Amino acid sequence: MLIGGIEAGGTKMVCAVSDESGQLKDRISLPTGRPEETLGEIAAFFQKYEIEALGIGCFGPLDLDRGSATYGYITKTPKAGWEHFDIVGYFKNALKVPVGFDTDVNGAILGEVTWGAAKGCDCAIYITVGTGVGVGVYSNGRLLHGLVHPEAGHILLARHPEDNYKGRCPFHPNCMEGLASGPAIGERWGKPAAELAGCDKVWEMEAYYIAQAVADYIVTYSPQKIILWGGVMHQEQLFPMVRSRVRELLNGYVHHEMLGEKIDEYIIPPALGEDPGILGAVRLGMLELELRSGDR
Residue 168 beta carbon to ligand ADP: minimum distance, rounded to whole angstroms: 11
Residue 125: strand, helix, or coil: strand
> What secondary structure, in 3-state letters, does 193-222 show?
HHHCCCCHHHHHHHHHHHHHHHHHHHHHHC
Q: Least distance from C-beta 1 to ligand ADP, angstroms?
A: 29
Binding site for ligand ADP (CB under 6 A): 9, 11, 128, 130-132, 182-183, 186, 193-194, 230-232, 234-235
Pick 61 or 231: Cβ nearer ligand ADP:
231
The CB-of-168 to Zn ion minimum distance in angstroms stands at: 9
Strands 51-58 and 124-129: unpaired
For ligand ADP, which is the closer residue by CB, 98 or 134?
134
Rg of the chain over all Cα atoms, to the nearest angstrom = 19
234 contact choice in ligand ADP, Zn ion, none (CB below 5 to 8 Å, kind-dependent): ligand ADP
DSSP character for 156?
Answer: B
* Amino acid identity at 72: G
* Residue 175 interaction partner, one of ligand ADP, Zn ion, none, beta carbon < 5-8 Å per kind: Zn ion
Closest distance between Zn ion and the C-beta of residue 9, in Å?
19
Question: 204 and 241 in contact (C-beta within 8 Å)?
Answer: yes
Does the protein bind Zn ion through residue 149 (CB under 5 A)? no
Residues 161-190 contacting Zn ion, CB under 5 A? 169, 171-172, 175
For ligand ADP, which is the closer residue by CB, 152 or 258?
Answer: 152
Is residue 3 within 8 A of residue 289, CB to CB? The reply is yes
Q: Rounded to the nearest whole angstrom, what is the least distance from the CB of residue 230 to ligand ADP in the complex?
A: 4
- As measured in angstroms, the least distance from the Cβ of 172 to Zn ion is 4
Shortest reach from residue 130's CB to ligand ADP, in Å: 2
| Secondary structure class of 6 (helix, strand, coil) | strand
Instruction: Choose from Zn ion, ligand ADP, none: what does 230 bind? Cβ within 5-8 Å by kind.
Output: ligand ADP
Contact 228, 243 (CB under 8 A): no
Distance CA 126, CA 230 (A): 10
Q: How far apart are the first and last CA of the chain?
A: 18
Residue 33 vs 40, nearer CB to ligand ADP: 33
Task: Please report which residue ranges of the chain form alpha helices under DSSP H.
Answer: 35-47, 87-95, 104-115, 176-180, 182-189, 200-221, 238-250, 276-292
Q: Which does 289 bind (CB under 5 to 8 A by kind): Zn ion, ligand ADP, none?
A: none
Which of ligand ADP, Zn ion, none lies near 114, with the C-beta cut-off 5 to 8 A by kind?
A: none
Residue 280 touches which of ligand ADP, Zn ion, none (CB < 5 to 8 A by kind)? Answer: none
Write the interaction track for Zn ion spanning residues 104-143; mark x where CB under 5 A is met and - where it is not.
Answer: ----------------------------------------
| Closest alpha carbon to 288 in 5, 15, 53, 29 | 53
Question: Which is closer to Zn ion, CB of 151 or CB of 290?
Answer: 151
In this structure, are residues 157 and 163 in contact, taking their beta carbons and an 8 Å threshold?
Answer: no
Contact 250, 78 (CB under 8 A): no
